[in-house]
């Protein structure tokens, strides 16, 4: 009997033990004496990664480009905040570990309501409907301050409820472990879904929805089911964000939040198992660390997104796995010979471009590079940048 290679979405190829050990190290970050700031940043990465994993199911698997995913994330976050503040739930002894389940239910409920009108269509119309629904829900938030706390949002305290494992999760290190484990579980669920029959049908709808219908399977039903799953996972991720921030405000459902998850997923790699994690890490570092050095961080982030769309459709994880694959074939020396010149040229061009931008725009503010370089530096750097770009082009030709 013939052996079929069965579908395995999200094969890492890095060796399961190594991946497991790495993840365990990440989860146990607090044991290594990470300060509160790094823990909070870490939690942010986990929350965003969980959110991005839910989005990857839609965009990466089924090609559903949603501009309103924050609806599910935000409603999950609000449900979690209300649950944390609810005396009735506290009296019933709801442990804080179960809060993400509340968010999951809220996300699922929202997906039942909004999923139907949006998943009837695919492609560009789907993108437009989700955009409309996203704007709709965001606008509603300010209209019903009774439910959503108005612009101030809803404050809560993650230590308000007791826990099963720890007495409470007020301290950052305990909260970190809770959030990391939940995020891992959510990511695993998303990857699991990709490997189920639903995941297979998701890829089929992306490839050719019309053909799927002629096979007897309604593509809009597949999209709807995916939306339910993705909505539930996003809702749980939203609940994690409530546990982290202890406040939920309108920004949780905003277009910016919807855009963030799209950016993370694309930059990280829309199809790779580690794409969302890497995307979340990149966004968090740029938003929280790079933003301390330059006002232009959003510009760099947008530029990075565009470059990814243009030149690396498989995102950063795509680049990494390409490099690893080539490295195995070529060895260190071969890699250096082959990629040394283009990488050096790209790095140089990038650095010079950043320098030019910093000097040109922050002259009168005197921040960043503008502090050290004189005004004419910008002109010099931009010329250098141009030269580096030409060099890059030449070395890329050499590659091809």
Partner 1 sequence: MSASILSLEGVRLSFGHADIIRGASFSIREGEIHALIGPNGAGKSTLFHLISGRLAPVSGHIRFRGRDIAGARPSLIARLGLSRSFQQTSAFPSLTVAENLAIAVMGATGERGSILRTSAAMPAVWARVEALLGKIGLARFADRIVANLAYSEQRILEIGLACAGDPALILLDEPTAGMSRAETEEMVPVLRAIARGRTLVLVEHDMEVVFRIADTVTVLVHGEVLVSGPPEAIRSDPRVRQAYLGQSPEAAHG
Partner 2 sequence: MDFIFPAALNAISYGLLLFMLAAGLTLVFSLMGVMNFAHASLYMLGAYFAYSIARQAGFWVGLVAAPLLVAGLGMLIERHVLRHLHARGHIPELLFTFGLVLVIEEIVKLVWGLGAVDYRVPPELRGTLFEAFGTRFPMHKGFVILVALASLGAIWWLIARTRTGLVVRAALANPAMVESLGHDVGRIFTLVFGLGAGLAGIAGAVGGAVLVTEPAMAAHLGTIIFVIVVVGGLGSIKGAFIASLLIGGLESVLIAIDVRLSDLLMPLKGLSSGLDAVLALKASQLAPILPYLLMVAVLVFRPRGLFGEREV
Partner 3 sequence: MTRKFDRRHVLAGLGGSLALPALGARGWAQSPSVKIAQLEILSGGFALLGESNARAVEIGVEEFNARPGQAVKLEVQLFDSKGSAQEAQTIFSQVADQGVRYVTGGGTSAVVGSLIDAIGRYNERNPGKEILYLNHQAIDPDFTNARCSYWHFRFDPHVLMRMDALTTFLAVDKSVKQVFLINQDYAFGHQVQNGAKEQLATKRRDIKIVGEELHPIGRVKDFSPFVAKIKASGADTIITGNFGSDLVLLIRAANDAGLDVKFYTYYANALGAPTALGEAGVGRTRLVTGMDLNALNPRMQWIHKRLREKYPKIELFHAAYFDMIDMLGAAFRKAGSTDPRAVAKALEGLTIEGISGEITMRAEDHQMLAPLFVQTFGAADGVAIKKGIEGTNFGFRTEGRFKASETIQPHSCVMKRPG
Name the site residues for partner 2 (rule: CB under 8 A). Answer: 63, 65, 117, 120-121, 123-125, 127-129, 131-133, 135-136, 139-140, 143-144, 146-147, 255, 259, 262, 266, 295-296, 298-299, 301-303, 305-306, 309-310, 313, 357, 361
Q: What angle do CA 315, 257, 40 make, to 5 degrees?
A: 85
Question: Which residue's CB is nearer to partner 3, number 197 or number 364?
Answer: 364
Judged by phi (left if over 0) then psi (alpha if -120 to 50, else beta), residue 162 lies in beta
Question: Which residue's CB is nearer to partner 1, number 102 or number 194?
Answer: 194
**Alpha helices (H) in 246-314, listed in sequence order:** 255-268, 275-284, 297-311
| Among residues 372, 375, 383, 390, the one that binds partner 3 under rule CB under 8 A | 372
CB of 261 to partner 2, least distance (A): 13
Judged by phi (left if over 0) then psi (alpha if -120 to 50, else beta), residue 62 lies in alpha
| Among residues 101, 198, 348, 387, the one that binds partner 1 under rule CB under 8 A | 198
DSSP letter at 14 equals S
284-to-163, 254, 277, 281 alpha-carbon distances in Å: 28, 18, 11, 5
DSSP letter at 3 equals P
Matching residue, tokens 């009108």 = 117
363 is a site residue for partner 1 (CB under 8 A): no
CB of 297 to partner 3, least distance (A): 8
| Among residues 92, 210, 332, 399, the one that binds partner 1 under rule CB under 8 A | 210
CA-closest candidate to residue 22, choices 242, 250, 278, 238: 278
Which listed range, 47-55, 205-213, 296-304, 337-345, lies at the site for partner 1 (CB under 8 A)?
Answer: 205-213
DSSP letter at 151 equals G
Provide the residue count of the chain: 400
Matching residue, tokens 């050499």 = 398
| Among residues 298, 306, 324, 383, the one that binds partner 3 under rule CB under 8 A | 298
Specify the 3-state DSSP secondary structure of 171.
Answer: coil
Q: Which does 310 bind (CB under 5 to 8 A by kind): partner 1, partner 2, partner 3, none?
A: partner 2
Residue pair 167/269 in contact by the 8 Å Cβ criterion:
no
Question: Which residue's CB is nearer to partner 3, number 19 or number 290?
Answer: 290
User: Any idea of the CA torsion for 252, 258, 264, 266, to the nearest 10 degrees?
Assistant: 170
Cβ neighbours of residue 13 closer than 8 Å, sequence gap 6 or more: 321, 324
CB of 158 to partner 1, least distance (A): 30
Q: Which does 121 bind (CB under 5 to 8 A by kind): partner 3, partner 1, partner 2, none?
A: partner 2
Specify the 3-state DSSP secondary structure of 154.
Answer: strand
What x/- string results for residues 227 through 246 when contact with partner 1 is judged by CB under 8 A?
Answer: --x-----------------
Residue pair 74/239 in contact by the 8 Å Cβ criterion:
no
215 is a site residue for partner 1 (CB under 8 A): yes
Q: Which does 95 bind (CB under 5 to 8 A by kind): partner 1, partner 2, partner 3, none?
A: none
Q: How many CB atoms lie within 10 A of CB 7?
A: 12
CB of 252 to partner 2, least distance (A): 18
144 is a site residue for partner 3 (CB under 8 A): no
101 is a site residue for partner 1 (CB under 8 A): no
Matching residue, tokens 């939690």 = 43
83 is a site residue for partner 3 (CB under 8 A): no
Question: Which residue's CB is nearer to partner 2, number 59 or number 169?
Answer: 59
214 is a site residue for partner 1 (CB under 8 A): yes
User: Any idea of the CA torsion for 192, 105, 97, 49, to the nearest 10 degrees?
Assistant: 50
Q: Which does 229 bind (CB under 5 to 8 A by kind): partner 2, partner 1, partner 3, none?
A: partner 1
Positions in the binding site for partner 1 (CB under 8 A): 1-2, 4-8, 192-193, 195-204, 206-208, 210-219, 221-222, 225, 229
Residues at the contact surface with partner 3, assessed by CB under 8 A: 35-37, 39-41, 44, 139, 142-143, 145, 150-153, 155, 157, 159, 170-172, 241, 244-247, 249-252, 282, 285-295, 298, 300, 351, 354-355, 358, 364, 367-369, 371-372
């Amino acid at each position: 009997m013939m052996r079929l290679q069965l579908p395995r979405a999200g094969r890492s190829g890095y060796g399961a033990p190594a991946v497991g050990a790495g993840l365990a190290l990440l989860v146990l970050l607090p044991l290594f004496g990470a300060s509160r700031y790094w823990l909070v940043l870490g939690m942010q990465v986990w929350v965003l990664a969980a959110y991005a994993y839910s989005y990857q199911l839609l965009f990466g698997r089924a090609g559903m480009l949603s501009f309103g995913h924050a609806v599910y994330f935000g409603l999950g976050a609000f449900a979690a905040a209300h649950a944390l503040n609810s005396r009735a739930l506290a009296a019933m002894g709801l442990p804080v570990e179960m809060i993400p389940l509340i968010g999951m239910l809220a996300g699922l409920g929202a997906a039942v309501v909004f999923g139907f009108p949006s998943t009837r269509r695919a492609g560009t119309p789907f993108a437009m409907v989700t955009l409309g629904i996203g704007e709709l829900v965001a606008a509603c938030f300010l209209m019903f301050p009774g439910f959503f706390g108005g612009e101030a949002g809803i404050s809560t305290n993650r230590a308000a409820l007791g826990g099963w494992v720890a007495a409470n999760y007020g301290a950052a290190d305990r909260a970190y472990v809770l959030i990391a484990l939940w995020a891992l579980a959510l990511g695993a669920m998303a990857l699991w879904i990709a490997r189920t029959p639903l995941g297979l049908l998701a890829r089929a709808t992306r490839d050719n929805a019309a053909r799927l219908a002629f096979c007897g399977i309604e593509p809009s039903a597949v999209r709807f089911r995916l939306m339910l799953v993705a909505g539930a996972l996003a809702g749980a991720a939203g609940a994690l964000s409530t546990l982290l921030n202890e406040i939920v405000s309108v920004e949780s459902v905003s277009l910016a939040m919807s855009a963030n998850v799209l950016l993370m997923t694309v930059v990280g790699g829309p199809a790779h198992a580690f794409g969302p994690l890497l995307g979340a890490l990149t966004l968090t570092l740029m938003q929280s660390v790079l933003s301390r050095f330059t006002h232009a961080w959003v510009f760099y982030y947008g530029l990075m997104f565009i470059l990814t769309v243009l030149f690396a459709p498989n995102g950063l994880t795509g680049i990494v796995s390409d490099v690893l694959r080539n490295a195995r074939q070529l060895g260190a020396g071969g890699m250096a010979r082959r990629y040394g010149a283009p990488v050096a040229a790209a790095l140089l061009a990038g650095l010079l471009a950043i320098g030019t931008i910093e000097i040109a725009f922050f002259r009168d503010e005197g921040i960043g590079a503008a502090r050290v370089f004189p005004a004419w530096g910008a002109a010099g750097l931009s010329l250098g940048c141009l030269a580096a770009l030409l060099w890059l082009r030449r070395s890329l030709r050499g590659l091809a």
